[in-house]
Amino acid sequence: VQIIRELGALKAALAALRGAGDTLALVPTMGALHPGHLALVAEARRRATRVAATIFVNPLQFNDAGDLARYPRQEEADLARLDEAGCDLVWLPAPGQLYPQDFATNVSVRGVSERWEGEHRPGHFDGVATVVAKLLLAVRPDLAIFGEKDWQQLAVIRRVERDLGLVVAILGHATVREEDGLAMSSRNALLSPEHRRQAAALPRTLDEARQRVLSGEPIDVVLDDSRQALLVAGFSEVDYLALVDPDSLEPLQSPHDRMRLLAAATIGGVRLIDNLGVTSEQQVRQ
Ligand code: PAF
């Protein structure tokens, strides 16, 4: 895998990588790679002839300095994994390269970024939208792949691409889960063994809620019971557990053709998010 750090070297490296007829897929990451990220690279390889990844812990999207400081960093292991997964190029920009001292532009998406994570992590989606716009403009891939675990992030990125006319296909990839259903996340490593065991209640509760919504139970009752179930299972706080329209992220009060359950809850001081499509085929175990 070719490793690029300087923005100045990126353009030439991409030009050399991309022959006539090649297609380029980008997998943007913040490092601390787990099998969920490698599934994105594998999907990228299926869909394009060349694959690039980025590793950048984006300070702009952390509204909590402690969270940024605690974010796991393991560059050497990440590079080895990307190499093994068949990535052609990895760009690891230094923060000063993406955000020079006089950086003054902010990409902010109204509507879809306002509720849920947007409400609980002020500024988070501006940070995501700004960095993803910058990465897509610098790399100019044909397509970019993001995990569906961050469902709202994916919806925000789709809007950025559409509204700014970036002409990149934005693809979502199904959440990769552990044996017990817990969505893979770099944050899982921060859980104690006991909290890690209890954390499986999050996908289990979403799956139970999905089944109850599909069987026609009143939505507000299902959501209230599900929040309560998480607290009983060991979560200390439930920021939200909601049934929403998958595109607008607006809450739904009655059953629709397409629905998504979204949740964020804290266990052992670690905030976890997850989501699930509400159709009879979709289940936590994939
Ligand atoms: O999902 C992530 O890892 C990040 O939010 C992203 C999309 C790479 C932007 O920093």
**28 alpha carbon – ligand 1 mean position (Å):** 6
Ligand 1 in contact with 28 (CB < 6 A)?
Answer: yes
Model confidence over 201-251: pLDDT tens digits? 999 999 999 999 999 999 999 999 999 999 999 999 999 999 999 999 999
What tens digit of pLDDT does each residue of 59-117 get? 999 988 988 998 889 999 999 999 999 999 999 999 999 999 999 999 999 999 999 99
The minimum-distance atom of ligand 1 relative to the CA of 132 is 9
Nearest to 29 by CA among 86, 100, 93, 107: 93
Q: How far apart are CA 21 and CA 171, in angstroms?
A: 21
- Verify whether ligand 1 is closer than 6 Å to residue 132 (CB atom): yes
pLDDT in tens, 166-199: 999 999 999 999 999 999 998 898 899 999 999 9
Looking at residue 286, what is its pLDDT? 43
Give the Å distance between the CA of 131 and the centre of ligand 1: 8
Rounded to an integer, the average pLDDT of 141-160 is 98
Q: Does 282 have pLDDT greater than 90? A: no
Residue whose CA is closest, atom 3 of ligand 1? 29
d(CA 155, CA 117): 12
- Give phi and psi for 13, each to the nearest 5: -65, -40
Is the CB–ligand 1 distance for residue 168 below 6 Å?
no
Mean pLDDT, residues 13-22 taken together:
95
From 200, 226, 201, 202, select the one nearest 212 (Cα to Cα). 226
Task: Tell me the best of 132, 136, 184, 273 to mutate to test the pocket of ligand 1, counting ligand atoms within 8 Å of each CB and taking the most.
Answer: 132
In this predicted structure, which of 29-38, 168-177, 207-216, 277-286 has the lowest mean pLDDT? 277-286
Side chain identity at 283, as an amino acid letter? Q
The model's pTM is 0.95
213 CA to centre of ligand 1 in angstroms? 31
CB 277 within 8 A of CB 246: yes
Per-residue pLDDT of 118-127, as tens digits, reads 999 999 999 9
79 vs 286, more confident: 79
CA of 68 to the centre of ligand 1 (A): 13
Strand order in the sheet with 2-4: 2-4, 89-91, 50-55, 24-29, 143-147, 169-173
108, two tokens: 């902010």
The token duo for 64 is 């909590």
For ligand 1, pick from 153, 185, 186 the residue to mutate: most ligand atoms within 8 Å of CB: 153
Q: Quick check: 285 pLDDT over 60?
A: no
Q: Please, are residues 267 and 198 in contact by the beta-carbon 8 Å criterion?
A: yes
